[in-house]
Amino acid sequence: MKPNPLRYLSLSLFLPFFISTVSVAADIENGERIFSANCSACHAGGNNVIIPEKTLKKEALEANGMNSVSAITYQVTNGKNAMPAFGGRLDDSDIEDVANYVLSQSEKGWD
């Protein structure tokens, strides 16, 4: 029986998508754990106990130019105003997971 090249082609096209989907789910879960342990004291439910108008809600993130993984990652890493820097305390991958979690929750309305 001859190998079917179409089978290998379709597998090579769909396998990376499946793997990346699983990994994104794991990243969001890790982001939630890291957020709960390090951020929720000030940002529970997407709120902000220090500066109430600068929440993690979708509209506020958009208004403040913080509606991207790179913008959130930068701020979490370097801190700003009353928010401490977490670079050096958290791994870069954990910070990126938190950023993905925050964006995911903002899309869901933090419910």
**Numbered residues of the known binding site for heme c:** 39, 42-43, 83
Q: CB–CB of 13/73 below 8 Å?
A: no
Pair of tokens at residue 32: 């939630």
Binding annotation: 39, 42-43, 83
In angstroms, the Cα distances linking 61 to 11, 54, 74, 96, 106 are: 38, 8, 14, 16, 8
